[in-house]
Amino acid sequence: MARILIVDDQEMMRDSLCATLSREGHEVVAAGDGQAAVARLEGGGRFDLMISDVKMPKMGGLELLAEAKRLRPDMPVVLMTAFATVSTAVEAMKVGAFDYIQKPFDGDQIKLLVDRTLDHSRLVRENQALRTMAEVAATRPLVGSSEVMQQVRRRIDLVARSSATVLVCGESGTGKEVVARLIHARSDRAERPMLTVNCAALSENLLESELFGHEKGAFTGADKLRRGRFELADGGSLLLDEISEIAMSLQAKLLRVLQESQFERVGSSMTQQVDVRVIATTNRILEHAVNEGRFRQDLFYRLNVVPIELPPLRQRLEDVPELCRHFLHQVAKRDRGVFRHIEPEAMRLLQRYHWPGNVRELQNIIERACILESEPGVIREETIRPWLRIGGGSPSDVADLAGQPLAEIEKRVILTTLEKFKGHRLKTASALGIGVRTLGMKLKKWREDGEPAEARV
């Protein structure tokens, strides 16, 4: 719910508005005149909306509007006005007020206006954030000159020209979201929003509401209409991250959107028509999930129209030096520090490592070295070597891994590290250079497959 500042010199009106909006779940703060409202705004308090009377002593609504736009330019302002001053309110909208409401009004009128204003404000913020992300994505490079990465770039350029559904596959940390945003940024939808939904982070009911929206009263807690991500992304793109985790009960509804571009909000029988390009990512092999009956075959085919496979870092170790330089430049620019160089022995060590956390782990190592390296201007082998012998193993322990499947090596490394940190997932994920969610998903998969996951802890 929102935090709303009510400004009116009439106590009865203030109390009535505060009561009405508080019942809707909003946090309401009252001010008796314009000067008191300015003091509230100058005090550093965050407000999502200000509702002010036009005619007040000391400081009128128009003067307060000007001050509010100076202090909180992104905060919408709604003016309350009597009939005789409607023209003044309309003029005020030209200089920054979002809307006005004519006195007298009832509770339903003000509630609808507040909902509409807050929805508009939220969409403005989201669009600003999306434009920023699109600008970043358009200039954010897909680092690596290896042949496999050149093939990925060529595929991205071809895919971006169409509106076909794309399935980006690859291990965690390989850069699947970077690829998805590059596809959107280079498409003719780049000026429209690109929204993201993490399918693994939400329960089944929350994910359905997040994707398709819901009507007011559709379920307990649905106290207002909510537009889903498909509706908000109309004309643009929707990134479905970790698509393999979507529940079977939702897969049919998702399939319908992909096939017919139609859906209904939860609790509604009215069909919505949308034009959304779907880009899905997964770190699982979806064919296995299909064979095991956990993922619909028809949905897999609909998602897999244009597949893009991202190689793990261990299969393109020739890109490690280029990636290191990229991350070193990022750190130096962000922290306004000196650009460091990696000594040859350290670089050879990095190029021999198997990188279970892929590019994300390499970025983590480089940033950590820039902070903790005591030698100015360089990154030495002795600084980074302890971080690569994960789990405290000796060089002979690493040699014993030769010839074993990479999946088994990854599992041993993760479980050994988890054991070292006594089951603390956050510390384990940080040491491995992967996300806590990624660690949890791997442990969950091993348990589902009947393999020991955390028994050693």
- For 413-449, the pLDDT digits (tens) are 888 888 877 788 888 887 787 878 888 888 888 887 7
- Report the pLDDT value the prediction gives residue 175, as an integer from 0 to 100: 92
- Report the pLDDT value the prediction gives residue 311, as an integer from 0 to 100: 95
Least confident of 6-20, 335-349, 385-399: 385-399
Q: What is the number of helices (H) and of strands (E) in the chain?
A: 20, 14
Does residue 238 surpass a pLDDT of 90?
A: yes
More confident: 93 or 33: 33
C-alpha 17/C-alpha 294 separation (Å) is 51
Going by pLDDT thresholds of 50, 70 and 90, the confidence category of residue 142 is confident
Q: Across the chain, what does the average pLDDT equal?
A: 86
- Report the pLDDT value the prediction gives residue 326, as an integer from 0 to 100: 94
- Report the pLDDT value the prediction gives residue 401, as an integer from 0 to 100: 56
Q: pLDDT by residue (tens digit) across 289-324? A: 999 999 999 999 999 999 999 999 999 999 999 999
C-alpha 123/C-alpha 116 separation (Å) is 11
pTM score over 0.85: no
- Report the pLDDT value the prediction gives residue 456, as an integer from 0 to 100: 42
- Report the pLDDT value the prediction gives residue 287, as an integer from 0 to 100: 93
Percent of the chain residues topping a pLDDT of 70 = 89
Does residue 270 surpass a pLDDT of 80?
A: yes
Token digits for 239?
A: 């990134």
For 93-97, what is the mean pLDDT? 80
More confident: 130 or 194: 194
- Comparing CA positions, the residue from 351, 259, 343, 344 lying closest to residue 299 is 259
CB 313 within 8 A of CB 143: no
More confident: 139 or 106: 106
What φ, ψ does residue 6 adopt, rounded to 5°?
Answer: -100, 130
- Report the pLDDT value the prediction gives residue 399, as an integer from 0 to 100: 46
- Comparing CA positions, the residue from 46, 48, 18 lying closest to residue 32 is 18
- Report the pLDDT value the prediction gives residue 369, as an integer from 0 to 100: 93
Going by pLDDT thresholds of 50, 70 and 90, the confidence category of residue 32 is very high
For 107-111, what is the mean pLDDT? 92
C-alpha 103/C-alpha 302 separation (Å) is 54
The contacts found for 375-383 with CB under 8 angstroms, 24 or more apart, are: 376/338, 377/338, 377/340, 377/341, 378/340, 378/341, 378/342, 378/343, 379/340, 379/341, 379/342, 379/343, 379/346, 380/343, 380/345, 380/346, 381/343, 381/345, 381/346, 381/349, 383/346
What single-letter DSSP state applies at residue 266?
A: B
- Report the pLDDT value the prediction gives residue 397, as an integer from 0 to 100: 47
Residue 262's beta-bridge partner residues? 273
Token digits for 295?
A: 């993922």
Q: pLDDT by residue (tens digit) across 150-205? A: 999 999 999 998 999 999 999 999 999 999 999 999 999 988 889 999 998 888 88
- Report the pLDDT value the prediction gives residue 403, as an integer from 0 to 100: 59
Going by pLDDT thresholds of 50, 70 and 90, the confidence category of residue 76 is very high
C-alpha 122/C-alpha 225 separation (Å) is 14
Does residue 392 surpass a pLDDT of 50?
A: no
More confident: 91 or 190: 190
- Report the pLDDT value the prediction gives residue 394, as an integer from 0 to 100: 43
CA distances from residue 393 to 60, 354, 386, 388, 413 in whole angstroms, order as listed: 72, 15, 10, 10, 10
- Report the pLDDT value the prediction gives residue 319, as an integer from 0 to 100: 96
Helix (H, G, I), strand (E, B) or coil at 340: coil
Residue linked to tokens 């997964």: 282
CB 264 within 8 A of CB 273: no
Report whether the peptide linkage leading into residue 104 is cis, meaning its omega lies within 30 degrees of zero.
yes
- Report the pLDDT value the prediction gives residue 398, as an integer from 0 to 100: 46
Residue 240's beta-bridge partner residues? 197, 280
Residue 197's beta-bridge partner residues? 240
- Report the pLDDT value the prediction gives residue 427, as an integer from 0 to 100: 80
- Report the pLDDT value the prediction gives residue 395, as an integer from 0 to 100: 41
Does residue 84 surpass a pLDDT of 70?
A: no
CB 232 within 8 A of CB 187: no
Least confident of 39-53, 121-135, 157-171: 121-135
- Report the pLDDT value the prediction gives residue 201, as an integer from 0 to 100: 87
Does residue 138 surpass a pLDDT of 80?
A: no
Least confident of 86-90, 148-152, 245-249: 86-90
Residue 4's beta-bridge partner residues? 28, 49
